[in-house]
Structure formats: C-alpha cells, structure tokens
Structure 1
C-alpha cells in the first residue's frame, strides 16, 4: 500500500465494478473489484483526504523500485490524540 492524496488518484476505468465496504464509524471506505475480489484502495479513516492504494493495481508500477517499511499491526492504535483537527479520527480510547 502507498498513501496518495485524493487529488492524485484517478480511476481510469472500471469504477462501475468497484464494491465498497464500510463498518463502525463509516469513515473509512474499502474498495474491492466486484468481479475478482482484489482489494484496490481505501479512503483512510485518520486522513480522509487520502487514499491507501494497493500498488499492485497500478499500471506500469515497479514495487521493487521503492523502499518498504514494515508495520507491526498489533502495536498500532486507532486513537490519535495528536491527529490534525480536520481529520475526524478518534482522539480518546473508549
């Protein structure tokens, strides 16, 4: 996955084939191909003006050309007390 500002993401074809999945606060939206089921991109909960994009869905993109940062999901928090004010993500645990 890579992060892209919403103004930088253009769906050139197949938008009518996308299915959206939402849960809990409905802030994040996850999009899948309704034909093959591949996870294409999602609108981020903590940064709603950005998308997380599956780089393997990008035409002519070589994933080996960019550095990779591993993320340990178990240590991640859904709470961000320092989130920017325009992002509606959670501020407190609960």
Structure 2
C-alpha cells in the first residue's frame, strides 16, 4: 500500500510503501517530547516528494539516528538510521500520514530511555 505524508506546512512531503500492522512509541528523551508514533520501513520504500534540502536534522547521543524535521513548522515527519543488521531504515511518524486512522493499530512500547 502507498501512503502520502508531510509536515504541517507541506515543505516536507513524502510517499511510503508498505503495510502498517503496528506502530512503536519510544520513551527516550526526544521521542517522548515529540509524541511520534513510528512505523519502520526500508529506506528505499520512503520517497521524498520535496527537495532533500528542505529537511533539517537533529542528532544526539551516539549520533546514530537522524531525526528529520521541518525548519519552518517544526514537525518531525520521519527519521533515518541503520538497523542492527546494517539495513538502512526510515522511521515514519504515522501522525504525519494523510487520511490515516492510526487509533486502531497496536502500539509497541520501546524503552529507549534505558539505552
């Protein structure tokens, strides 16, 4: 299935391909403040519809996750990292997907605060 998403102002827009069976909520210092619900897909299943130059990026801690956000409206539509097997992945904030009801999806809780 194909999904479209964006930040609030539309400066960052994207499409993502895959099936959403669950989302993850992380309690680390940044995720708990952002309130993101993340859906993970291989990075090649995320396609930017706007220029990559529109992205701002924040990294902290071990600098392994690139938390992308819009410098204009401040919304965090997705992040990028490499999984333990070395695969490039995207963590898409399902709250940024168009016309998508995430309320019925199971939420997996991840204890990122303990890392």
TM range (shorter): 0.5 to 0.7
2:53 equivalent in structure 1: 16
When the two chains are superposed, the root-mean-square deviation of aligned CA atoms in Å is 2.3
1:64 equivalent in structure 2: 103
Which segment drifts farther, 13-22 or 51-60?
Answer: 13-22
Higher strand share: 2
Are 1:43 and 2:83 an aligned pair? no
Structure 1: gaps (5+ residues): 78-94
Greater gyration radius = 1
Tell me how far apart the structure 1 counterparts of residues 95 and 51 of structure 2 sit (CA, whole Å).
16
Higher relative contact order (CA 8 A, sep 6+): 2
Aligned 8 A contact 2:82 2:88 in 1: no
